[in-house]
Amino acid sequence: MRKVIAVDGIFLKSRYGGVLLSAIAQDAENHIFPVAFCIVDSECDASYKYFFEKMRSFVLDTPELCIISNRHPSIGKMVSVVFPSAHYGYCMRYNIMMINITELINAVLLDERKFPITALFDVINKQFAEIFHERRMIFLDIGTKFVPSMEAIIAENTELGNKLLVHQIANYRYVVTGHEAIAIVDLKSKSCSFRVFDVDKIPCPHAMAVLRCQYGEDYGRRIYEYSCLYYTVDTYIMAYVEEIKPVPSEDSWQVPIEILERKISPPFVEPSKQNAAIAMQYSTTNVLAMKNSATNVLAVKIQHLM
Ligand SMILES: [Zn+2]
């Protein structure tokens, strides 16, 4: 998994309000990979501190870790407290990843944002359990070393590299010319003066041309030695090997006594004409007949408030 985690908060639309905090990474196929979800009453220092502290139990605080966001000032503040070694970046620099992730989460949870908390987590759990299973199985018989999107980049860069001219200037160091630009490639340090090879960790067209010059006919196999193992099909499948288990039934929960004893008042809700109209549509009989659906959980609450 890339060590870049995007953090965002989505406002919930249920009667109890709240914000769903999410931390998401990207896999080698640029699919979103859920890291953590948490529901808090509002976005503030205390909420993000709690969220990041829970994340620390399974996300290592290292200089290679980068946490990005496009939102609240508390995110950057608490990243520096809980993940002091990690880098923090605003969305301006990483906007494509951030927009994709936020849109996807919003799309996946469009209706569920109106659900009560337990139903919302149930949906998140089921959706990602299915996605994990699909992704575990999808590349099992694919027969390539890297995932399809990376194999496509290798093919494209190989073709572009075939049009470039290469001159060796030292052991493992080459000058590559083409398209009126000159690049210097160092195979030992796996770097190119254009920096794409260094950052993406897969040979750029310049590096492809150099590999062809250095290894001759054998260079197709060598491409993988100069690429990051992160792109292999095996690594991809390993990311999804853990099953997402369903939330156990409520009677098996071990709730601390101080939580059980805490009295929580229902939220204040201003009665409105719209609520009254909705409540009228649901007689007690209807609610009992459809009591398993989340819509009716809301209906019961609306009647209770009347
Ligand atoms: Zn290059």
Successive 10-residue mean pLDDT values, the chain, 306 residues: 85 82 88 88 94 95 90 90 92 57 66 76 84 89 93 96 94 89 94 94 96 90 93 92 80 87 76 55 39 33 32
Tell me, in angstroms, the distance from the centre of ligand 1 to residue 185's CA. 7
> Do 84 and 194 have their domain in common?
no
Tell me, in angstroms, the distance from the centre of ligand 1 to residue 221's CA. 19
> Do 24 and 125 have their domain in common?
yes
> Do 167 and 192 have their domain in common?
yes
The DSSP line for 113-180 is GGS-HHHHHHHHHHHHHHHHHHHHHHTTT---SB-HHHHHHHHHHHHHHTT-EEEEEETTEEEEEETT
Residue 92's pLDDT is 57
> Do 112 and 35 have their domain in common?
yes
Look-up: residue for tokens 């709730």? 255
> Do 133 and 160 have their domain in common?
no
**Residue 249 lies inside a defined structural domain of this protein:** no
Tell me, in angstroms, the distance from the centre of ligand 1 to residue 62's CA. 28
**Residue 103 lies inside a defined structural domain of this protein:** yes
Tell me, in angstroms, the distance from the centre of ligand 1 to residue 144's CA. 24
**Which of the listed residues 141, 158, 176 is the one where a domain comes to its end?**
141
Residue 248's pLDDT is 79
**Residue 244 lies inside a defined structural domain of this protein:** no
Tell me, in angstroms, the distance from the centre of ligand 1 to residue 206's CA. 5
Give CA–CA dist 99/91, Å, rounded.
9
Total domain count, the chain: 3
Residue 34's pLDDT is 87
Domain range for 281 is 273-305
**Residue 254 lies inside a defined structural domain of this protein:** no
Residue 192's pLDDT is 96
**Residue 240 lies inside a defined structural domain of this protein:** no
Rg (CA), the chain: 26
Give CA–CA dist 37/11, Å, rounded.
13
The dihedral region occupied by 190, where left means phi > 0, alpha psi between -120 and 50, and beta the remainder, is: left
> Do 159 and 98 have their domain in common?
no
> Do 117 and 26 have their domain in common?
yes
Q: State pTM to two decimals.
A: 0.71
> Do 12 and 132 have their domain in common?
yes
